[in-house]
Amino acid sequence: MKKVYFTPGPTELYSEVPKYLEEAIGNNICSISHRSSEFMEIYKQVSSSLKQLLGIPNSFRIFFLASATESMDRIIQNTVAENCFHFVNGAFAERFYKTALELGKRAGKCEATSGSGFDFENVTIAHTPELICFTQNETSTGVALPVEEIYGFGKKFPEAIIAVDIVTASPYLKIDFTKIDCAFFSVQKGFGLPAGLGVLIVNERCIEKAKSLKEKNIRIGSYHNFLSLDENAVKFQTSETPNVLTIYLLGRVCEMLNNYGIEKIRSETEEKSGMLYEFFDSHSKFGTFVKQKKDRSNTIVVADVGESLTAIKKSLLEEGFVIGSGYGKFKDNQVRIANFPMHRIDDVKKIISALDKV
C-alpha cells in the first residue's frame, strides 16, 4: 500500500512533484551551468513566484542555502557583533539560541513553558539586542506565535533586526514582511519537496548590517556571507553550485500554489486543523498538547496520547498513514500531525476516524 506522510517534515511530496522531476530531467536542468542564462531565468522565476505567493516586497532578497539550520547560522554571523535575543518555545528555537552561543555571541533568551506561548507583555529585554529571533511555528511543540506580537518588538526596538523562523509555517502563514527583516524556511515541509534546500529572505537592513560588521573587522563568514550572497543574488546567481534541481522544483511548486490560490490554501488549512483539534479536545483519553487556543499552530498539531502511541502508529500505518511521534522527551507519549497544503481533507478525516477506533 502506498504510504501518505503526515510527518512534520520531511513530509509527503505534492503529487505533482514526480511529474516536475521528469520534466527537469527532460530539460537537462541537472546538467546546465549555474552561471548560465538558463539558471538565471530559473532563479528569477522562483524569486518572483515566491514573492507573489508569500507577499514578499520586491526589495527583499531571496538567498538559497542548504537548510534552515544553515539560515540560523548565517543570520547570526551576519547581523550580530555582540548580542542577540531569542524567544524559545521549543527545540528549534533553542537550536537558534545555541547557534548564537556556538558562534561566540552573547545571547539572551526568554523561555516559554513547553506547550505554551509567551506572556509577551511581561517580557523585559534589558538592552537593545542587535537581533531578536522568533520561531513563529515551533515544530517540536506545535506552538505558534501571533505575528502582531512579533511586529510589536520591531516597533519597540527599531534598531534591532527581527528574524522569524517560518520553517513549518510557510506557505500557510500570512506575515507582513515590511514589519520584519528576515525569515527563512526549508522546502521539505509545507512546500512538499525533497530536503536539501533552505530559503532565506532578507531586507536591505540585513545586508547593511553585514557590511558594517565587515568594516569593523568582525567575521561574517566566507562564501555564504550576506555580501557574497547578495552580490550573486542581484545577478540571479549563487556563490557556489547550488541545488539547482530543487530550486527548479520550488519554482514549479510556487507556480502551482499561486494558481491554486493562497487564500484557499489558508482556509483549507484552518478547516483541517480545526477538525484535528476538535477531535483531540473532545477525546476521553487523548488531549491537545497546546492548551490555549491562541497558541495553537494550524500546521503542526501535537497531542498527548499516553501509552496509546504504539497502537495509534500501527493502526494508522495499516490505513497507509505515517504521522510523527512527539519530539525529544515527548517521543513516547505524543503524536505530531503535520497539516500542510498537500495533505487532503479526506485523508485527515480518515486519520481521525482511525484514531477514534484505537
State the Cα–Cα distance between residues 140 and 196, nearest whole angstrom. 20
Told to check if 339 binds a second copy by CB under 8 A, we report no
Backbone angles phi, psi at 137, to 5 degrees: -130, 100
Q: Looking at this protein, which amino acid is placed at residue 288?
A: T
Of 195 and 262, CB closest to a second copy: 195
- Residues 91-130, one symbol each (x = binds a second copy by CB under 8 A, - = not), give ----x--xx--xxx--------------------------
C-alpha R_g of the chain: 20
Among residues 131, 122, 119, the alpha carbon closest in space to that of 157 is found at: 131
Told to check if 273 binds a second copy by CB under 8 A, we report no
- List the one residue from 322, 352, 354, 358 that touches a second copy (CB under 8 A): 322
Of 22 and 278, CB closest to a second copy: 22
Told to check if 15 binds a second copy by CB under 8 A, we report no
Told to check if 188 binds a second copy by CB under 8 A, we report yes
Among residues 249, 278, 74, the alpha carbon closest in space to that of 161 is found at: 74
- Residues 58-97, one symbol each (x = binds a second copy by CB under 8 A, - = not), give -------xxxxxx-xx---------------------x--
State the Cα–Cα distance between residues 115 and 141, nearest whole angstrom. 6
Of 102 and 356, CB closest to a second copy: 102
Told to check if 326 binds a second copy by CB under 8 A, we report no
- Residues 275-314, one symbol each (x = binds a second copy by CB under 8 A, - = not), give ----------------------------------------
Taking CB under 8 A as the criterion, which residues in 226-255 touch a second copy? 239-246
The residue ranges of DSSP E strands in the chain, in sequence order, are 4-6, 61-65, 83-88, 106-111, 131-135, 137-138, 143-144, 161-165, 182-186, 198-202, 287-288, 300-304, 321-325, 334-338
| CB of 69 vs a second copy, minimal distance in Å | 4
Locate 194 and state its grid cell: 525533497
Locate 189 and state its grid cell: 515541509
- The answer to whether the CB of 277 falls within 8 A of the CB of 355 is no
Q: Looking at this protein, which amino acid is placed at residue 265?
A: I
Q: Which chain residues interact with a second copy by CB under 8 A? A: 3, 5, 7, 9-13, 17-18, 21-22, 25, 28, 30-34, 65-70, 72-73, 95, 98-99, 102-104, 186, 188, 193-197, 219, 221-225, 239-246, 322, 324
